[in-house]
Amino acid sequence: MILDKFDVAVIGGGHAGAEAALASARLGMKTVMFSISLDAIGNLPCNPSIGGTAKGHLVREIDALGGEMAKAADETFIQMKMLNRGKGPAVHSLRAQIDRKKYHCAMKRRLENQAGLITKQAEIVKINTENNKVSSVVTATGAEYEVRAVIIATGTYLKGKILIGDYSKESGPDGMFPANELSKSLADIGVTLRRFKTGTPARIHADSLDFDKMELEEGDEKIIPFSFETEKTGENLVSCHLVYTNEKTHKIIRDNLNLSAMYGGYAEGVGPRYCPSIEDKVVRFCDKERHQLFIEPMGLDTKEMYIQGFSTSLPEFVQLEMYRSIKGMERAEFMRNAYAIEYDCCDPTELYATLEFKNIENLYGAGQFNGTSGYEEAAAQGLIAGINAALKLSGREQVILKRSDGYIGTLIDDLVTKGTNEPYRMMTSRSEYRLLLRQDNADERLTPIGYRIGLISRERYDRLLKKLEAVDAEIKRVSNTNISPSSANPVLEKYNSTPIKSGIKLDELIRRPELDYEKLTEVDTERPDIPDAVKEQAQIRLKYDGYIRRQLAEVQKAKKMEEKLLPEDIDYKAIQGLRLEARQKLDKIRPKSLGQASRISGVSPGDMSVLIIWLSSHRA
């Protein structure tokens, strides 16, 4: 029985599903979002935090394109901190400790109040297709909904299984129901599924911890928000703490490795390399005497404390013993056990860069279903999938972000071009354009794209243009401001900077590594009253001008390869000179351009030379 008709159906209400549903509805599509439980919308089942190294960049980019994660995080954070301040601006990353329940409520409220969007509590068990094109979705109770496009954002629910030692149970995260039926339907319509695994630490009652024995981790005194639109920031309301494992902890783990779900042979899925369990850390880094752990509150209205860095699938009695071996945790009482969770996900090389499946029209994948880990990676993909589903149904050109556009472009290109054999995590080292893709200039890079799509208002776009004009004006001002030795040298001496013998332009002083805007306040007597964001952008452009120019030249060089398009009907098996592996990989991924082909694992420089020669002769 057909109950209703929608343009777009989103399966899943996590971070990917929420962004996908909001983007689709805001672009004019009649949208429905299905969640196994409405109480799990926007849930933070693992770490109650948003942002972090590289992930903070993603949150800023989501905001610059018109997504919601940044605003919800600004509304519900309880501690905010800028990471990597001692390093260059390319790796500065915001990280917020989040009130878990308040974040869920904030995101649920946004979804419920969005015009053109309906949220439904239901398990989708089947996706129907006609002529390899999605036509409807069916719930576990038999209700059918006609749809023009489907976005799969199932997170870790798809045939989810909890693992604690030799104990296993079919379950989603946090004891939610798993989605057991949809996997078969996906396989039936041609989606290749794989098995991945992730884990989460135990939650400890705060009153059972001795914080006086731990190192205090405070938030920033001056809070910088995630969203470029947040004008009034909250304040830090909690402290986090730092502790370390020790030799006793490691001995407990080594003595019980055979009881671990992974090392005992009970786990089937592949786990994340860059967010390993404590068992993995002790085995892989056996030379390390200790590993750091962060004690983080789950919210203001709960005593639950999250122990970051201590995920495990060991039995409960072993967990308790090793947790209590930590200084300050000798009396630790569990509120929730640590566990590993296995789930089904797709092979992302079966997707276009739009996140649409190549062999099933109007079916999109997003988030952990695409093989990633992390809330931020999920939200970024959900936003792009929602945008592209809406644009395609509207007859408009879909959006493909380039690697030089942002970390979102890098993330998606890595997935669809290189694939992943383990849960993929975004890191700054994955981008070859790190100095261009800073978190501070995400609005400059992506807000014009968001405005063109229709998710950014004219008012916000005009504010960006005024900000950029102000930055240009400030750079021009400091480049034309003369500073005399008499006014400069006392300040230069103060900061161990080489004194000057004749007049100097202010921009030359700003470029010195040991100096900055604030230190030069005394000599810059004519400085206008400008926003901190303008000063930040002007300073970064001045200090890193040469490096930025060099990376821009690299972008232009790469652009030429991206513009050399490959025919869609090319028969790679017939091209003489390509190695067998290259033929197989090229035929599977079907790259759009020579640039994308060059990034496919298994395609060598020699194979690229053959392709270039073939393309030249083909065009001739």
Residue type at 613?
I
Are 344 and 159 in contact by the 8 Å Cβ rule? The answer is: yes
SS (H, E, C) 62-103: HHHHCCCHHHHHHHHEEEEEEECCCCCHHHCEEEEEECHHHH
Q: What are phi and psi of 99, to 5 degrees?
A: -75, 110
* Strand, coil or helix: 584: helix
Are 360 and 189 in contact by the 8 Å Cβ rule? The answer is: yes
| Cα 599 to chain centroid, rounded | 21
* Strand, coil or helix: 220: coil
> Does residue 390 come out as left (phi exceeding 0), alpha (psi in the -120 to 50 range) or beta?
alpha
H/E element, 194 = strand 193-200
Are 160 and 269 in contact by the 8 Å Cβ rule? The answer is: no
Of 547, 554, 558, 553, give the one whose Cα is nearest residue 90.
547
Task: Return d(Cα 9, Cα 362) in angstroms, integer.
Answer: 11
Considering the segment(s) 2-47+60-75+101-198+342-452 as one domain, its CATH architecture is 3-Layer(bba) Sandwich (3.50)
Task: Return d(Cα 452, Cα 455) in angstroms, integer.
Answer: 8
Assigned token pair, 275:
């967010």
User: For residue 344, how many C-alpha atoms fall within 13 Å in the half-sphere facing its CB?
Assistant: 19
Task: Return d(Cα 58, Cα 69) in angstroms, integer.
Answer: 10
What single-letter DSSP state applies at residue 257?
Answer: G
Q: Which residues pair with 179 in a beta bridge?
A: 158
| Cα 162 to chain centroid, rounded | 24
Task: Return d(Cα 213, Cα 242) in angstroms, integer.
Answer: 10
- Report the relative pairing of strands 193-200 and 49-51 from DSSP bridges: unpaired
Task: Return d(Cα 326, Cα 332) in angstroms, integer.
Answer: 9
Are 315 and 164 in contact by the 8 Å Cβ rule? The answer is: yes
Compute and round to an integer the Cα radius of gyration of the chain. Answer: 26
Assigned token pair, 541:
């452009």
How much is the pLDDT for 620?
Answer: 58
Residue type at 55?
K
How much is the pLDDT for 617?
Answer: 86
Task: Return d(Cα 431, Cα 248) in angstroms, integer.
Answer: 39
Are 306 and 329 in contact by the 8 Å Cβ rule? The answer is: no
Cβ contacts of 350 within 8 Å, gap of 6 or more: 191, 192, 357, 358, 359
- Helix, strand, coil content of the chain in percent (nearest 5): 40, 20, 40
Mark the ranges of the chain whose per-residue pLDDT is less than 50: none
Domain ranges of the chain: 2-47+60-75+101-198+342-452, 203-340, 458-550, 563-619
* Strand, coil or helix: 489: helix
Are 381 and 16 in contact by the 8 Å Cβ rule? The answer is: yes
| Cα 19 to chain centroid, rounded | 12
Q: Span 203-340: which CATH code?
A: 2.40.30.260
Considering the segment(s) 458-550 as one domain, its CATH architecture is Orthogonal Bundle (1.10)
Task: Return d(Cα 207, Cα 37) in angstroms, integer.
Answer: 31
What single-letter DSSP state applies at residue 372?
Answer: B
- Report the relative pairing of strands 363-365 and 144-152 from DSSP bridges: parallel
Q: Which residues pair with 593 in a beta bridge?
A: 565
Task: Return d(Cα 604, Cα 582) in angstroms, integer.
Answer: 8
How much is the pLDDT for 109?
Answer: 98
How much is the pLDDT for 270?
Answer: 81
User: Could you write out the DSSP letters of every residue in 557-580?
Assistant: HHHHHHTSBPPTT--GGG-TT--H
Q: Which residues pair with 217 in a beta bridge?
A: 240
How much is the pLDDT for 38?
Answer: 97
Residue where the block lists tokens 């959006």: 399
**H-assigned helices in 337-401:** 375-393
H/E element, 148 = strand 144-152
- Report the relative pairing of strands 31-35 and 117-121 from DSSP bridges: parallel
How much is the pLDDT for 273?
Answer: 75
Of 505, 442, 455, give the one whose Cα is nearest residue 478.
505
Considering the segment(s) 563-619 as one domain, its CATH architecture is Orthogonal Bundle (1.10)
Q: CB count, 10 Å around CB of 180? A: 17
